[in-house]
Amino acid sequence: MRSNRLESEPGPSRLASPLALEVDGLSVDFSSHEGNKRVVDGVSYAIARGQTLGVVGESGCGKSMTALALLGLVPKQGCVTGRISVSGQGLSEIAIDEWPEIRGKRIAMVFQEPMTALNPAMRIGDQIAEVLHLHEGLSWKEARERAVEELRLVGIPSPAERANAYPHQLSGGMRQRVVIAMALACRPDVLIADEPTTALDVTIQAQILELMQRLQDEIGMAVQFISHNLAVVSEIADDVIVMYAGQIVERASADELFSNPLHPYTQGLIATLPKIENRQDELPVIPGMVPRLDGTLKGCRFAGRCVKADSECHALIPVLRSISPGHDVACHKVRP
Amino acid sequence: MIVFLLRRLLGMAVVLLVMSFVVYGLIGLMPGDPIDLMVLSNPGMTAADADRLRALHGLDQPLIARYWRWLIAALNGDFGFSRVYARPVLDIVGPALWQTTKLVALTLAISSILAIALGIRSAIRPGGKFDTLISFVSFAGISIPSFWLALILILAFAVGLGWLPASGMGRPGEGGFWDSARYLILPVATLVIANLGGVTRYARSSMIETLRMDFIRTARAKGAREPRVVLRHAFPNALTSVITVIGVNFGTLFSGALITETMFAQRGLGKTIYDAILGNDFNLALVALLFATFATLIGNLLADIAYAWLDPRISVT
Amino acid sequence: MTALLSVKELTISFPVGGVSLLPRRRRVIQAVQDVSFDIAPGETLALVGESGCGKTTAGRATAGLYKAPKGTVSFRGQDIFNLPRASRKPVRRAIQMVFQDPFSSLDPRMTVFEILSEPLKINRMGSAREIRERVQDLIGQVGLPADSLNRYPHEFSGGQRQRIAIARALAPEPELIVADEPLSALDVSVQSQVLNLLGALKRERGLSYLFISHDLAAVHHIADRVAVMYLGRLVEIAGRDALFANPRHPYTQGLLAAVPRIGQGRRKRTLIAGDLPSPLAVPSGCAFHPRCPLAQEICRRERPELKTHSDVAHLTACHFAERKEAA
């Protein structure tokens, strides 16, 4: 049922280009002696080639776990259900030992902390060469030569010498470029970037965002850009989904979402940000905290913090439905 | 690198010098001196004889003066005579050192390789069956007193099965390599079992910690398969901290294999030091202790070099 | 304007050995160089800049956490590094700190009551009963539930812990709070709560803040004046509105342009090229010249003084601060 809706998703670019990534009803459960915790709950979305989907939410909303599920890297205790396809190939059916062939080749990932994401005891050229050696069948020598080219592509000065450097000899921004080079070396269909600029300084963040946009234009991969920073997402994403407590609560194009947010949580998130162009003495706040996901929760997961919530919200789970073309919201109080 | 080595060697010389003074002083403070022993064993000696002998051997002079005389002689290669063996000290310490080196080198090589292999295997699935078994065996190894272990091994392999000699070192020059190797098997086995548990625990926790790091997740996200993730990415990074422990063990084993050496009648360094101190054999105890210190320092130096070689973030220049 | 806190020509350097097995020839990082600023009673000064620019070091020195650096820090006219014994405690008490990480800055083995009452006990501020009452007041003021007192820090969320840290800083009734990146470890929706709390405390108690942050939007929200640091030196200091509306230093301009904003869409960014140079090898002349779009020969040779130009309250360290057009 959900996949039907995905295919009927409007937007000219959507129809024209094939979908690089389709996620349908993805859920991740963790069960422990304290009971079942559903940290990702029935998440569905799609990204077309050359497009960027921004995923926004606070810590614990399930955005990073969604990313790990796409790579088959959810910790062993977790149970993943739902359908994932990359350029039409379903990944849900594949065996565990086929996953390494997908990772780094079809779907690649850039992580938050460039300081710790690289192997400290391995030259950066070798770390990039490893991906090419694993997936492209290149000899180590050929792979090392290609690695230098990849370093050049991400704008690292004198790449041939830098290939012999160890990660600790590079700045944070340079390391993140190396991580990006590593992720894109095999020209994957989908790049998942999990808070890729959060650990960086603003001027370096701007450089990395610029780099990611340029590479996307050149390579044409689909990008899933995960961030808690709404402003960064508004600058880089074509479409945005907002996640709260494991669920998608709102989805729209970036322009639409930031100019006309409909879900009370999205509205709250945007309102709480201090804005340089419009200073207020008192910032609006979202009261309360993210609820515990222990399965006892009924109704809308945001109801406890929502000013508009009534008895309906506490009793019934709102479904994500289209409010206007291309704008879906999961809220009882928002009607077409 | 050369500058680093020179500096370290210079530092070691200073440490040895200080150690020699401390040890000399400590032995000098021990109650009784060799002349007292002679008096005890020879009732015919008078107090005047004793004083004459003390003056002859320089024992009536203050500690500093005696130490200074010893040091000058030692720097000229003369470490003095062993009172008990009545031979130059180096003649006694040399073979003991060689014996202990064989014992320690074999023990370290076998226990390190085993410990690292077992540690890695345990770390892959912490809390799994293999890990639980190895944890149990490790703790057993740590807890079992080595004299008891030595006795059990002797009972089983020497007395019971008769495969191996119970003690001794073989006669030099007779029986060849295999014969002397047979004498080493049980002492090495004892030391390996005693040592293995600790290093395995260490290798395991270091490996578990490394496997949790971000770059391991990166390696998996690249499409590296588990064996590659574990051996190529995690192992070199986990090894650095294990090396430190092995380096420390190197030093401890050199002087600390006393019980094992005694149980198997191996005339090693630990046994030599022990006997020399009990027998009031000044010169021998002093030199043997200094060699043990030297071995400890060398162990640490080797560990540091290995460390710098494994971890590019650490430089030795 | 009589300053509450006055920092004059503060210079702090650290010896660095790097990770090495040998004590090598000591190299020295100039973390803070020749930094001067004042904070008036009730004023919030923000210290902004990128990692490694020295803002944290400068802030900690202001709170007296380093011993006798070069330069002076005076609080109500008293040099805090050379205090007579009698006035040490009152001055220390009057300057308190809030740290970045609410997870590691609170002792996990102390209850909230112990954490909050400790500074009161140290400063002998009242009997056991009075202390209990004050602590109860404090948690009310920072918006923590009344039953928090006997709980331990790990039972609280990040935002609540930062409230505890703020309450601890408030306990000895300080006049100045040095807040070092107090928001950066918090979730977006919690950041605004903490910003509001800091703002309310300022209004109600006339507190002054030295607010150290890399988040320019938060700085714009809370600060009265803003000082921008680059590689250990102040490059610009001005009133908030003047600085944000009319930044004079090319670094400040680049920094402001790099801040992502909602509603701009995918845009062509004006980028400051290159990386921050290592603090071990600060470029000659103006430290910013290798990255500066306006750099000329003079910038490489001569270090520009931090001085006023047309506006007396707006100081800029740039040879071209007077140019007509902003780059």
Specify the higher pLDDT residue, B208 or B182: B208
Parent domain of B22:
2-75
A108 vs B contacts (CB less than 8 Å): 221-222
Q: Please state the domain extents for chain A.
A: 2-106+188-329, 113-187
pLDDT of the residue at A323? 93
Q: What is the pLDDT of residue C113?
A: 92
pLDDT band with cut points at 50, 70 and 90 for residue A3:
very low
Quick one: pLDDT at residue C26? 59
Do strands C78-79 and C70-75 pair parallel, antiparallel, or not at all (unpaired)?
Answer: antiparallel
Average pLDDT score over residue span B88-100: 82
> In A, which residues are within 8 Å of C276 by CB distance?
171, 201
Sheet holding C5-16, edge to edge: C27-39, C5-16, C70-75, C78-79
Burial B7-20 (b: 16+ CB within 10 A, else e): ebeeebeeeeeebb
Closest chain A residue to C18 measured between Cα atoms? A168
Please give the structure tokens belonging to residue B35. 């002349």
Kindly list the domain boundaries of chain C, sorted by start residue: 252-260+268-327
On whether the CB atoms of residues B288 and B246 are closer than 8 A, the answer is no
The pLDDT confidence band at residue B33, using thresholds 50, 70 and 90, is: low
Of C10, C172, C175, give the one whose Cα is nearest residue C76. Answer: C175
Cα A307 to its chain centre, rounded Å, is 29
In a domain, B317, yes or no: no
pLDDT in tens, A212-229: 999 999 999 999 999 999
SS3 C84: coil
Instruction: Collect all residues of chain A within an 8 Å Cβ-Cβ radius of residue C272.
Output: 203, 206
Judgement on whether residues B70 and B97 belong to the same structural domain of the protein:
no
Ramachandran angles phi, psi of B126, nearest 5°: -60, 135
Contacts of B271 (CB under 8 A, 6+ apart): B96, B258, B261, B262
Q: Is the dihedral of CA B204, B208, B210, B216 positive or negative?
A: positive
Q: How far apart are CA C62 and CA A22, in angstroms?
A: 54
In this complex, do A229 and C260 lie within 8 Å of one another by their Cβ atoms? yes
**Chains in contact with C via at least 3 Cβ–Cβ pairs below 8 Å:** A, B
C22 touching B (Cβ < 8 Å) = yes
Tell me which residue in C50, C264, C273 faces A201 most closely, judged by beta carbons: C50
| pLDDT tens digits, C94-129 | 999 999 888 888 998 999 999 999 988 888 888 888
Mean model confidence pLDDT for chain B: 82
| pLDDT of res. C80 | 86
Residue A113 tokens, joined: 């902390």
Alpha carbons B265 and C293: distance in angstroms, whole number = 80
Are both B127 and B223 inside the same structural domain? yes
Assigned CATH for A2-106+188-329 = 3.40.50.300
Q: Do C269 and A229 touch (CB under 8 A)?
A: no
* B81 domain residue, yes or no: no
Residues B38-49: pLDDT tens digits? 677 677 777 777
Residue that wins the pLDDT comparison between A271 and C22: A271
Q: Is C9 helix (H, G, I), strand (E, B) or coil?
A: strand
Calculate how close chain B gets to C22, using CA atoms only, in Å.
7
The arithmetic mean of pLDDT across residues B220-237, rounded, is 92
- Look at chain B and report how many structural domains it folds into: 2
Half-sphere exposure of A269 (CA within 13 A, CB side): 30
pLDDT given at position A166: 92
CA–CA separation, C70 and B198 (whole Å): 50
- Put simply, whether C20 touches B (Cβ < 8 Å) is yes
Tokens of A137: 């069948």
* ipTM of the complex as predicted: 0.85
Would you call B50 an interface residue with chain C, using a CB distance cutoff of 8 Å?
no
Share of chain A above pLDDT 90, in %: 62
pLDDT at position A24 over 60:
yes
pLDDT computed for residue A16 by the predictor: 43
SS3 B286: helix
More reliable by pLDDT, A2 or A258: A258
Q: Is C25 on the interface with B (CB under 8 A)?
A: no
For residue A72, give the nearest of A96, A49, A40, A45 by alpha carbon. Answer: A96
**pLDDT (tens digit per residue) in C41-76:** 999 999 999 888 889 999 999 888 887 678 889 998
Q: What is the pTM of this model?
A: 0.84
Same domain, B121 and B34: no
What is the amino acid identity at position B179?
D
Mean pLDDT of B184-202: 86
pLDDT of residue A12: 41
Instruction: Give the whole-angstrom CA distance, residue B192 versus residue B198.
Output: 11
* Average pLDDT of every residue of chain C: 87
Task: Give the pLDDT band (50/70/90) at residue B120.
Answer: very high
- Residue B74 pLDDT class (50, 70, 90 cuts): confident
CA distance C17 to chain B (A): 11
Q: In the predicted model, what is the mean pLDDT of residues A280-306?
A: 82
Q: For the segment A55-110, what is each residue's pLDDT rounded down to a tens digit?
A: 999 888 889 899 999 999 998 888 999 999 998 888 877 888 888 999 999 999 99
Largest CA distance in chain B: 87
Q: Which of C18, C19, C22 sits opposite B4 (nearest CB)?
A: C22
Confidence check: pLDDT of A252 > 70 = yes
Give the pLDDT band of residue A185 (cuts 50, 70, 90).
Answer: very high
Task: Identify whether B141 is part of a domain.
Answer: yes
Say yes or no for a CB contact (<8 Å) between B222 and A103. yes
Given a cut of 80, whether residue A293 has pLDDT beyond it is no
Q: State the angle between helix axes of C112-122 and C158-170 in degrees (0 to 180), rounded to the nearest 10.
A: 20
Residue by residue, what is the 3-state secondary structure of A165-184?
A: CCHHHCCHHHHHHHHHHHHH
pLDDT at residue B138 greater than cutoff 50 = yes
Domain shared by B219 and B296, yes or no:
yes
State residue C266's pLDDT score.
65
C-beta atoms surrounding C278 within 10 Å:
11
HEC readout, C214-242 = CCHHHHHHHCCEEEEEECCEEEEEEEHHH
- CB contact (8 A) between residue C22 and residue B7: yes
- Is there a contact between C51 and A284 if contact means CB atoms under 8 Å apart? no
Which residue, chain included where needed, has tokens 């030391």? B191
The yes-or-no verdict on residue C273 having pLDDT over 70 is yes
The Cα of C255 is separated from the nearest Cα of chain A by a number of Å equal to: 6
Query: Averaging pLDDT over each range in A266-275, B274-283, C17-26, which range is the top one?
Result: A266-275
**What's the sign of the alpha-carbon dihedral C132, C136, C138, C139?**
positive
Q: For the ranges A77-81, A147-151, C235-239, which has the lowest average pLDDT?
A: A77-81
A175: nearest CA partner in chain C: C275
CA distance B8 to chain C (A): 9
When scoring B125, B210, B217, B218 by the number of chain A Cβ atoms within 10 A, the one with the most, hence best to mutate, is B218
C119 CA to centre of own chain: 22
* Crossing angle of helices B269-278 and B235-256, rounded to 10°: 30
pLDDT, tens digit, 9 for 90 and up, residues C134-165 = 999 888 888 888 888 899 998 888 888 999 99
Nearest to C1 by CA among C35, C38, C37: C38
Give the residue-averaged pLDDT of C195-212. 92
Q: How confident is the model at residue B256 (pLDDT cuts 50, 70, 90)?
A: low
Q: Which pairing describes strands A35-48 and A52-56: parallel, antiparallel, or unpaired?
A: unpaired
Strand boundaries in A146-305, DSSP class E:
190-194, 222-227, 239-244, 247-253
Of C191, C217, C276, the CB nearest to A275: C217
Residue scoring higher pLDDT (A102 or C20)? A102
Which of the listed ranges A140-149, B276-285, C139-148 does the model predict with the highest average pLDDT?
Answer: A140-149
